[in-house]
Amino acid sequence: MDRYKKQRIRMVETQIRSRSIRDDRVLKVMEEVPRHLFVDEGLINQAYSDNPLPIGERQTISQPYIVALMTQALELKGMERVLEIGTGSGYQTAILAKLADRVFSIERVAVLASHARKILDRLNCYNVAIRVGDGSYGWKEEAPFDAIITTAAAPQFPQHLVAQLSPGGRMVVPVGGREVQTLYKLTRSTEDPSELKKEDLGGCRFVSLIGESGWKE
């Protein structure tokens, strides 16, 4: 057992399972993925704490519970193609890589994308493609996607991303102001792809989605 394994198990039991996360695959992966590799060296002692942490470039690694909540909402079974907007540290990306077939992740800050790539390769997450750009446009060449996750807050539902969601697909996105948002799960109808079922997953606070369909700098 590596020195952080007990901390991961404690994190899952006290922060995640206790808050009604019930997807066994999500719980198992969050016990396995080493979150401490994705935080700054000076913050390693807080890697499994119940809060977000700064990763530089005015970005953060999300609170473990929020990662679990968003991941569970995607309802991943293992064969999905997933689009992630906001690679950030790469932690959420690694969780997705263990649960889906392919992950396509977009990060607007090149230094973060490069750093995340190195850690993901170290963890053998070779089913992840990362590119630098405006995530609010999505990744049209690889669309449609079975699931889309946005780890930055938009002022409204990003229509470029909604359009790249497969019929029956799920999208999790924080929407609202620049300080406080609501986390939504959108499910695209299989009968009429223009129809979306919206589910409120609760309040949240994310960094802003910067881009054409997001906020300006």
Contacting residues for 76 by C-beta, under 8 A, at least 6 apart:
25, 82, 96, 99, 100, 147
CATH number of 63-204: 3.40.50.150
148-171 pLDDT, tens digit per residue, is: 999 999 999 999 999 999 999 999
Residue 193 confidence (pLDDT) above 70:
no
Which of 20, 49, 62, 189 is the catalytic position? 62
Contacting residues for 93 by C-beta, under 8 A, at least 6 apart:
84, 87, 103, 105, 116, 120, 125, 128, 130
Residue 42 confidence (pLDDT) above 90:
yes
Query: pLDDT category, 211, cuts 50, 70, 90?
Result: confident
Question: What average pLDDT does the segment 50-62 reach?
Answer: 93
Q: What is the pTM of this model?
A: 0.95
Q: What pLDDT score was predicted for residue 37?
A: 97
CB 155 within 8 A of CB 179: no
Question: What average pLDDT does the segment 45-54 reach?
Answer: 96
- Distance of alpha carbon 55 from the chain centroid: 15
Dihedral of CA 173/177/182/188: which sign?
negative
Instruction: Share the mean pLDDT of the chain.
Output: 94
Residue 125: other Cβ atoms inside 10 A: 20
Residue 210 confidence (pLDDT) above 90:
no
CB 68 within 8 A of CB 132: no
Q: Residue ranges per domain, the chain?
A: 63-204
- CA angle centred on 28, ends 24 and 34, rounded to 5°: 150
DSSP β-bridge partners for residue 129 = 104
62 catalytically annotated: yes
Helix (H) or strand (E) holding 120: helix 110-122
